[in-house]
């Protein structure tokens, strides 16, 4: 490498143990004071509690200018089943670079800092899940020849008035109502019984994992990973739904409740089913949960066309914003096919926790 008289100011590397405070200061400026990214417990959940994590110092990439963090990119490692083999694959998320560092010019910045951190997230990885991409990041990964994965992005506005009221209240600094509290419940539909569980027991989690998607590539949760991802005390607020036929499990779903732009939003972060009747029953159980919680806005991500069509019949629409989904595979490795994807594979489940409100 040629020596130059001007050394680059911005360095791309992993975060150091003594930089947590600097990162949290950066996160508050980037995502907001009440964001999960600016919460120390989020870092503990993502990097200390995750049984598959390599730790913050090996999975959280940062861009540093002197003592100041000016960019970050998270990697969340979860188990996947790829052509019959179980692999731990990182899902990248929450890429942010301070605006003044996005278009730095000069010989030492032939590769912009944002692209540097995107490339660094792929180094020495066999596979990387690249989901929830903004338009710019999606185009960059496309130029890197990472193939797109078919995913459907859906939304349902249940009450525009309530959503608007909550957004205005949030901007004025007022507390936003978190929706009604719900308890365990049972609904019956299509010869199935759907049980709604707010705090699932270990036996219920074990039962939930007895079914797997009918696909070649899918998140392959074990008990420790599933409990951490969806039902950890430091994680997002989630509700489990189990669909049973004659006491035999036929499908499961997980709904996450949180805030997005100051509005209470429910996300369907997991949906696994064995047949159309099971999907119908789970969908009705999800809708009833949203009704009981008086949630004004709902979001869902799924690679299942069948699930997408069922949600559309229930009043869901495709999201207008373009969002990318791609998959990186190291050169020489076989690219996965036949994906089963839901939001829980990478999406935290909310922009801010309900309980973080002032």
Reported as a single tens digit per residue, the pLDDT across 83-112 is 899 999 999 999 999 998 887 655 455 788
Going 194 to 197 to 203 to 207, the CA torsion angle's sign is: positive
User: Which residues does residue 257 pair with via DSSP β-bridges, in sequence order?
Assistant: 237, 266
- Reported as a pLDDT band with limits 50, 70 and 90, residue 5 is very low
In this predicted structure, the answer to whether residue 237 has a pLDDT above a threshold of 70 is yes
Contact present, 272 and 213 (Cβ < 8 Å): yes
Q: What is the pLDDT of residue 12?
A: 95
What is the reported pTM?
0.91
In this predicted structure, the answer to whether residue 23 has a pLDDT above a threshold of 50 is yes
Q: Using CA atoms, how far apart are residues 264 and 262, in angstroms rounded to an integer?
A: 7
Q: Using CA atoms, how far apart are residues 297 and 267, in angstroms rounded to an integer?
A: 9
Task: Give me the chain's average pLDDT, please.
Answer: 90
- The DSSP-derived string for 311-323 is HHHTT-EE-SS--
Q: List, in order, residues 6 or more apart from 304 with CB less than 8 Å away.
A: 152, 271, 340
Mean pLDDT of 137-152: 95
Proportion of the chain in helix, strand, coil states, percent, rounded to 5: 30, 30, 35
Q: Using CA atoms, how far apart are residues 308 and 305, in angstroms rounded to an integer?
A: 5
- Reported as a pLDDT band with limits 50, 70 and 90, residue 159 is confident
In this predicted structure, the answer to whether residue 15 has a pLDDT above a threshold of 80 is yes
Q: Using CA atoms, how far apart are residues 263 and 354, in angstroms rounded to an integer?
A: 10
pLDDT digits (tens, 9 = 90+) for 281-313: 999 999 999 988 889 999 999 999 999 999 999
Domains (range + CATH), the chain: 10-143 (3.40.630.30), 152-324+331-356 (3.40.630.30)
Hey, how many other C-beta atoms are within 10 angstroms of the C-beta on 61? 22
What is the percent of the chain where pLDDT is above 70? 92
Tell me how many degrees the CA angle 196-199-204 measures, rounded to the nearest 5: 70
Q: What is the pLDDT of residue 28?
A: 95
In this predicted structure, the answer to whether residue 356 has a pLDDT above a threshold of 60 is no
Q: What is the pLDDT of residue 6?
A: 46
Place of tokens 């996450």: 256
Contact present, 235 and 241 (Cβ < 8 Å): no
In this predicted structure, the answer to whether residue 351 has a pLDDT above a threshold of 80 is no
| Residue 344 per-residue DSSP state | G
pLDDT digits (tens, 9 = 90+) for 25-59: 999 999 998 888 999 999 999 999 999 999 999 99
Contact present, 94 and 51 (Cβ < 8 Å): no
Q: What is the pLDDT of residue 109?
A: 59
In this predicted structure, the answer to whether residue 203 has a pLDDT above a threshold of 80 is yes
- Which residue has better confidence, 179 or 317? 317
- Farthest CA pair distance, the chain: 75
- Reported as a pLDDT band with limits 50, 70 and 90, residue 175 is low
Place of tokens 């969002």: 323
Q: How far is CA 300 from the centre of its chain?
A: 11
Q: List, in order, residues 6 or more apart from 242 with CB less than 8 Å away.
A: 194, 195, 197, 204, 207, 208, 249, 251, 252
């Amino acid at each position: 490498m040629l020596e130059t008289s001007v050394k680059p100011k911005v360095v791309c590397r992993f975060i150091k143990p003594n930089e947590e405070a600097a990162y949290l200061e950066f996160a508050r400026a980037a995502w907001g004071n009440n964001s999960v990214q600016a919460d120390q417990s989020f870092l503990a959940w993502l990097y200390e509690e995750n049984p598959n994590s390599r730790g913050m110092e090996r999975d959280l990439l940062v861009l540093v200018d002197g003592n100041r963090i000016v960019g970050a990119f998270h990697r969340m490692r979860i188990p996947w089943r790829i052509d019959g083999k179980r692999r731990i694959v990182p899902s990248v998320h929450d890429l942010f670079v301070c605006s003044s560092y996005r278009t730095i010019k000069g010989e030492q910045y032939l590769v912009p800092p944002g692209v540097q951190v995107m490339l660094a997230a792929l180094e020495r990885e066999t596979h990387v899940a690249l989901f929830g991409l903004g338009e710019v990041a999606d185009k960059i990964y496309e130029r890197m020849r990472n193939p797109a994965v078919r995913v459907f992005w859906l939304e349902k506005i249940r009450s525009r008035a309530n959503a608007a009221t909550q957004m205005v209240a949030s901007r004025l600094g007022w507390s936003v109502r978190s929706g009604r509290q719900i308890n365990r419940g049972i609904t019956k539909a299509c010869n199935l019984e759907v049980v709604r569980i707010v705090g699932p027991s270990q036996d219920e989690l074990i039962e939930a994992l007895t079914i797997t998607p009918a696909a070649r590539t899918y998140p392959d949760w074990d008990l420790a990973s599933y409990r951490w991802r969806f039902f950890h005390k430091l994680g997002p607020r989630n509700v489990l739904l189990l669909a049973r036929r004659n006491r035999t499990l036929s499908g499961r779903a997980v709904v996450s409740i949180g805030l997005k732009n100051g509005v209470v939003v429910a996300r369907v972060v997991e949906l696994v089913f064995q047949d159309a009747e099971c999907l119908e029953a789970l969908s009705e159980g999800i809708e009833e949960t949203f009704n009981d919680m008086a949630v004004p806005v709902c979001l869902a991500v799924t690679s299942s066309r069948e699930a997408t069509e069922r949600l559309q019949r229930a009043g869901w629409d495709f999201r207008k914003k373009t969002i990318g989904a791609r998959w990186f595979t190291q050169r020489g490795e076989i690219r996965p096919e036949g994906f089963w994807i839901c939001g829980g594979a990478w999406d935290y489940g909310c922009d801010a926790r309900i309980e973080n409100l002032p």
